[in-house]
Chain A
Amino acid sequence: MPEIIIETKEVSKLFGGLTAVNLVNLVIPKYSIYSIIGPNGAGKTTLFNCISGFYTPENGEILYFGESIHGSATDFIASIGISRTYQNIRLFSNLTAVENIMVGQHTKLKTNWMDAILHTPRFSRENKKSRSEAIRLLGFVGLTNFGDFLACNLPYGLQRRLEIGRALANEPQLLLLDEPTAGMNPQETHEMIKLIRQLRDELKISIILIEHDMRVVMDISDQISVLDYGKKIAEGTPKEIQANPRVIEAYLGPGGAALAKKYQARRRKNA
């Protein structure tokens, strides 16, 4: 049994009368790429927001390395090693790329405002280190030489990568990626898949992924969960999910599974 990095136990989140996330149980092993898929409005991002502390779930518990982080503040959750990116890119747009990453290092740095005023040796040492570290990270996500660009002036694909770089800056154990390949062309998507694999294999980060591009999901996921109307309707390896009639019905509507079978059979016949 591999070590478990994060576990949600019967997590529910309500918005007024709407149950956005309904009694969801997830168990995510360490060093895995775990995907959460589902139609629009299924509660995937809400679940992310619960894990990263933006929302406090009404019911259930979230365990990080076996300890409850239920109701903790967002900045505390960031400081214990859970980072995330956003569906709509949320960079600090009027800061340069390097500065964005240096803000990301916030929890790893120790100097306070007094050090900054007095320029203590600790401050200059840390400042130099954080700068070179930020430039190294920029290189890792493929933004070498873009350090001086304002984040808002970067092309879209690089903004996505910069956001991942910022999330990596606090040396996370767990990375939540919310649609990292949204709006990318096939070439960029391919590069993004490579980067995500690299994160897991080289940096030993566990990854939870929300993604709509099925080719990406089926390509890189170790495990997949499917949400529909806030409920988990299926869980398993990519193969199992592809064959699961409930998943197909969630995407195509009732009767979709039979329809899909028919099409698959016809395709096989034609081939």
Chain B
Amino acid sequence: MAGLTAGIFIALFDLILNFLIQSGTDIRQYLSALSFESMDYFLLNLGQMGTLVHLGLYTATGLAGSALAVFLRSDSVQHGWQNLKSNISTFITRTIENLPPFLQKYGKYLLYLILLATLLILPTRWGSYLNFVIGLVGLYTIPGIGLNIIVGLSGQLVLGFAAFFAMGAFSVGLLNAPEPHNLMWGFWPAIIVAILMAVAAAVVLGLPTMRLRGDYLAIVTLGFGEITRILLKSDTLINLTGGPRGILDIHGPTLFGKPFTDVYYVYLIFLGVAVSIFLYNRLQDSRTGRAWLAIKEDPIAAQATGVNLQKYKLLALCIGAAFAGLVGGISAARNQFTGPNDHTLMASINVLSLVIVGGVNSIPGIILGAFALKGLPEILREVQNYRQLAFGALLIVMMLMRPEGLWPSSRPLIEKGDRSQIEESKTDKGGTDA
């Protein structure tokens, strides 16, 4: 269900954009006309005062954001919002009740089918620029879900996630590029090696460090990420990995002898996202997933109920790293290049922040987060001078309105009982407990 809603969101967004482009409006033209210089020139031709104006603008948007948040939190707005929500939900249930029985039974699958068709058709229609943006969002969603297994489920703050990207990217690069080794294994075997290498790196990192907790683990893994990057950049491994120059001309995947176009890449990424959502959902509702959640809540109590902390933390790290290795490999092939500077600390922090902005343990949240932090800046590249302004206001609104992320998770209810009965017995008990 979560995946479905997220998919609909993406599809909707792209339909709108596509429509705009189809109708002959070139958004980018308008956006570039809005560059800061022109605004400065037309509105605030103040020369040296420019910086002050910036500061003033930041403050103003911040204030506007908080005012907006206060307004949105006021009783009447909240009340209206609740009304709207309940109206929509009753509308939906009523529509479902009025549907013919055939649709009631198979409607869900029909919706999935429509979504699948949309996702298959759209990339061929909307042009390579949007394919690039959507691919980017997808390429951040997969490691977002992977990192969410580590941070959101098992509660280990790992900051060296980029090291696992690097493992994947360099595996594909070294095995499938003419320089420096000219191995040319082909993409598919290389991507499997990429995943295995990332898992191996996770084991190497995890065995000694999974005894650490909280801040200490964050610092050690951060160090691991930086060490990996600096090693790749240094001259020590220049014969093996190509050093600071990186690996050029990485060959992409082929299917029945045909090389991948950008549309196929988008399909591949969609497939990756689908697989990771599937894995995440399966793992979450299992003995393993519950053991992870228990470790996150209280490691000591978890161990005393029989959970082997080392084993489960390491397992979470390995699965998360596998996702990162996959993405590292795909993006290296897609960009036809990988270098040490693709795998900086910033990459790790980006993934972590998209998980937190979107909502921990929530798949639609992570997709939304990837879109907000990676897709939107790409689309709004022309007005990036104003990005920071919007970001400030957005942060304030988010802190006040959505402290748990854009789309926070709602944990599934396991025991389906009669809710009214529960409420009754609660009030009964409440009397004696008070």
Q: Does B293 contact A99, Cβ atoms closer than 8 Å?
A: yes
Give how many A residues have a beta carbon under 8 Å from the other chain's beta carbons. Answer: 56
**B302-339 vs A: 1/0 string, CB under 8 Å?**
11111111000001000100000000000000000000
Set of chain A residues within 8 Å of B319, measured between Cβ atoms? 113
Q: Does A116 contact B (CB under 8 A)?
A: yes
Interface bits B343-379 vs A (CB < 8 Å: 1, else 0): 0000000000000000000000000000000000000
Cα(A146)–Cα(B425), bound, Å: 9
Contacts of B302 in A (CB 8 A): 92, 103
A117: interface (CB < 8 Å): yes
Binds A, one of B32-40, B172-180, B415-423: B415-423
Give CA–CA (A79, B303) in the complex, Å: 10
| B414 within 8 Å of A (CB atoms) | yes
CB pair B304 A78 closer than 8 Å: yes
Judge if A102 is at the interface, Cβ distance under 8 Å: yes
Classify the interface of chain B: helix, strand, loop or mixed.
Answer: helix
Given the interface pairs A106-B291, A109-B287, the reply to whether A145 lies near B305 with Cβ below 8 Å is no
Contact A92 B307 (CB under 8 A): no
Chain B 381-421 interface 0/1 with A at a Cβ cutoff of 8 Å (1 = within): 00000000000000000000000000000010111011001
Please give me the residue from chain A that is nearest to B361 by CB atom: A94
Among candidates A78, A146, A188, residue contacting B306 with C-beta atoms closer than 8 Å:
A78
Interface centre among B298, B315, B418 (most CB of A within 10 A): B298
Is the beta-carbon distance between B287 and A75 smaller than 8 angstroms?
no
Docked complex: A174-208 residues within 8 A CB-CB of B: 185, 187-188
- Chain A residues closer than 8 Å to B430, beta-carbon distance: 155
Contact in complex: A170, B305 (CB < 8 Å): yes
Within 8 A of B (CB), among A151-166: 155-158, 166
Q: Which of A86-131 contact B (CB under 8 A)?
A: 86, 90-96, 98-99, 102-104, 106-107, 109, 111-113, 115-117, 119, 123, 126-127, 130-131
Task: Determine whether the beta carbon of B287 is less than 8 Å from that of A116.
Answer: yes
**Chain B CB within 8 A of A52 CB:** yes
Does B279 sit within 8 A of A, measured CB to CB?
yes
Residues of the B chain whose Cβ atoms lie less than 8 Å from the Cβ of A170: 305-306
Residue numbers in A under 8 Å from B418 (CB-CB): 145
Interface presence of A44 (CB below 8 A): no
Residues of B within 8 A of A126 (CB): 287
Q: Which residue of A lies closest to B413 (CB)?
A: A148
Contact assessment for A127 and B297 in the assembled complex, using a CB-CB cutoff below 8 Å: no
- Whether A148 contacts B300 in the complex (CB less than 8 A), given A95-B290, A106-B307, A116-B286, comes out as no
Partner of A111, one of B279, B287, B417, B429: B287
Q: What is the bound-complex CA distance between A131 and B279, given in angstroms?
A: 21
* Of listed A107, A111, A131, A145, residue having the most chain B CB within 10 A: A145
CB 8 Å contact bits of A35-63 with B (1 = contact, 0 = none) = 00000000000000000111000000000
Contact partner of B294 among A54, A79, A103, A144, CB < 8 A? Answer: A103
B433 at interface (Cβ–Cβ under 8 A)? yes
Contacts of B305 in A (CB 8 A): 78, 83, 103-104, 106-107, 166-167, 169-170
Would you call A113 and B433 a contact (CB within 8 A)?
no
In the complex, residue of chain B having the shortest beta-carbon distance to the beta carbon of A117: B282
Shortest distance between the CB of B351 and any CB in chain A (Å): 22
Which residue of the partner chain B has the closest CB to A86? B301
Instruction: Fill in one digit per residue for B225-267: 1 if any A CB lies within 8 Å of its CB, else 0.
Output: 0000000000000000000000000000000000000000000
Residue in B closest to A118 when the chains form the complex, CB atoms? B282
Q: Does A135 contact B (CB under 8 A)?
A: yes
Please state if B301 and A91 are interface contacts (CB–CB under 8 Å).
Answer: yes
Task: Kindly list chain B residues whose C-beta atoms are within 8 Å of the C-beta of A98.
Answer: 414-415
Q: Shortest distance in angstroms between B152's beta carbon and chain A's nearest beta carbon?
A: 12
Using known A-B contacts A117-B282, A155-B433, determine if residue A54 contacts B300 with beta carbons closer than 8 Å. Answer: yes
Do residues A148 and B286 form an inter-chain contact, with CB atoms below 8 A? no
Report the bound CA distance from A98 to B290 in whole Å: 11
| B87 sits at the interface (CB 8 A) | no
Determine if A147 is an interface residue (Cβ-Cβ < 8 Å).
yes
B69 within 8 A of partner (CB): no
- Across-interface contacts of B315 in A (CB, < 8 A): 113
Distance A78 CA – B282 CA, assembled complex (angstroms) = 27
Question: B61 interface residue, CB < 8 Å from A?
Answer: no
Minimal beta-carbon separation of B123 from chain A (angstroms)? 28
Query: What are the residues of chain B within 8 A of A109 when measuring CB–CB?
Result: 287
Residues on B with C-beta less than 8 A from A187 are 432
Q: Does A84 contact B (CB under 8 A)?
A: yes
Residue of A whose beta carbon sits closest to that of B423: A145
Give me 15 A-to-B residue pairs in the complex whose CB atoms sit less than 8 angstroms apart, sorted by A's number: A52-B304, A74-B300, A74-B303, A78-B305, A86-B301, A92-B294, A92-B302, A96-B415, A103-B291, A106-B305, A117-B279, A117-B283, A126-B287, A145-B421, A167-B305
Minimum-distance CB pairs A-B, first 6: A116-B286, A147-B415, A107-B306, A78-B306, A92-B297, A90-B301
